[in-house]
Amino acid sequence: MKEMYPKNGKVILHVDMNSFFASVEMAYDPTLKGKPLAIAGNPHERRGIIVTCSYEARKFGVKTTMPLWEAKKLCPQLIVKKPNFERYRAASFGMFQILRQFSDLVEPVSIDEGYVDITDSYELGSPITIAQLIQKRLLNQLDLPCSIGIAPNKFLAKTASDMKKPMGITILRKREIRNIIWPRQVGEMHGIGEKTALKLKKINIYTIGDLAKANEIQLRKLLGINGIKLKERANGIDTRPVDPEAVAEFKSVGNSTTLPKDTVNQHELFTVLEKLADKVSIRMKQKKVLAVNISITIRYKDRKTISRSKKLLNPVVQKDEITAIAKQLLIKHWNGDPIRLLGITGFDLIDQSHAVQQLDLFSFEQEAKKEPLIKTVMKLREKYGESIIENAVEKTNKASPTKLVGAETSFNKDFLHDLKKNESS
């Protein structure tokens, strides 16, 4: 089989579970199979929102983030269930255990998707044979469907897995990019949101092919270094390795400042926190991430230093949100002594494109008890634009809402950290 593998290149799989939450519920209760099923918060309330739904429900026009009342209007026979996060976590652990039977190089991306480097797994069969074995094993052992992309790098594997759903297996080679990928609208490319697509159209980049041939100076001026990376992706270039340790990555964005003089003036300290929060917010927006954990650092006149943090139900990125949390932490933990340095750090970062997923797993469980998820979704839309929901949840639809639970690259940090602990224990 070795001759079926490239001599110098890689063979990467992207395994993406189909309508994960709904599929897990169907596996748990086979009587739900073949029926229009939706997972939603507050299913008994008019204002509940669809978190994900089965393909049978989608045939009626039911979509993720749709208000429950609207979904029921489109599909009166819609079956609605509340999310069961422990059930989804258990299914996800089982999924990744199966993937590791085919390679040690498995990188979880979220609760329901991951990359597998099978370059050295040729003894198990050809790439297509391994993909078929994975698909069958997930279906036979967990009763869960998936789509798999096979390609020489992560970007193309991800693109390929999106091409056939549900239960698809797609091979995407670099030589096929020109005919298959380039004719598509630039907004359809993985990694490009609605706002970026609009910016690109202003410089006459309408298709992925246009981006692949775009002027690099113009791209850098418009999008910075990210513009160059996007052009590389459009040309099928992606050198990122499949990294099992990416789950354990600890990311943070922070700023601190030494005060002009030691002070106990709360108004002055609050002003400093506001400026720091603004800097942290700007940097997170530049990196296109949100924080699920905010920490403040306090250094006193005697140089004693403490750090205190707060884990959040919903990820934040806006200055006002970060400021409010930082002030709360200062009020709670400041002992009243003169302060010489203050700092704010955002931890447990998630990609903006996965924010709704993070929300789902992270906070939906508790938040749904207090108010409909739709309120939170609308806030995200107002702050970050429609695409943060449309793109992430649509992906959730196809894949999961773990994106309603999480992982990382977006790495819904909680889930991935639990996964890492489980592996090492």
Reply yes or no on whether 56 is catalytic. Answer: no
Residues 6+ apart with CB under 8 A from 331: none
Residues 6+ apart with CB under 8 A from 1: 122, 123, 124, 125, 126
Q: Which two tokens stand for residue 186?
A: 């630039």
User: Which pairs count as long-range contacts for 169-172, CB under 8 Å and 24+ apart, including other chains?
Assistant: 169/128, 169/131, 169/132, 169/135, 171/127, 171/128
Burial code of 189-219, b = ≥16 C-beta within 10 A, e = fewer? bebbbeebbebbeeeebebbbbbbebeeeeb
Residue 110: closest CA among 6, 222, 16, 233: 16
CA distance 156 to 13: 9
Counted residue by residue, the chain has a size of: 425
348 in a labelled binding site: no
Residue 280: closest CA among 334, 323, 225, 224: 323
The answer, yes or no, to whether the previous bond of 67 is cis (omega within 30 of 0) is no
CA 135 distance to own-chain centroid:
22
302 in a labelled binding site: no
Q: Which helix (H) or strand (E) holds 203?
A: none
* 3-class DSSP assignment, residue 86: helix
**Considering 56, 107, 113, 408, which one is annotated as catalytic?**
113
User: Which pairs count as long-range contacts for 72-76, CB under 8 Å and 24+ apart, including other chains?
Assistant: 75/36
Contact 37, 21 (CB under 8 A): no
For the annotated catalytic residues, the residue numbers are 113
- Summarize the annotated binding site for Mg(2+) as residue ranges: 16, 112
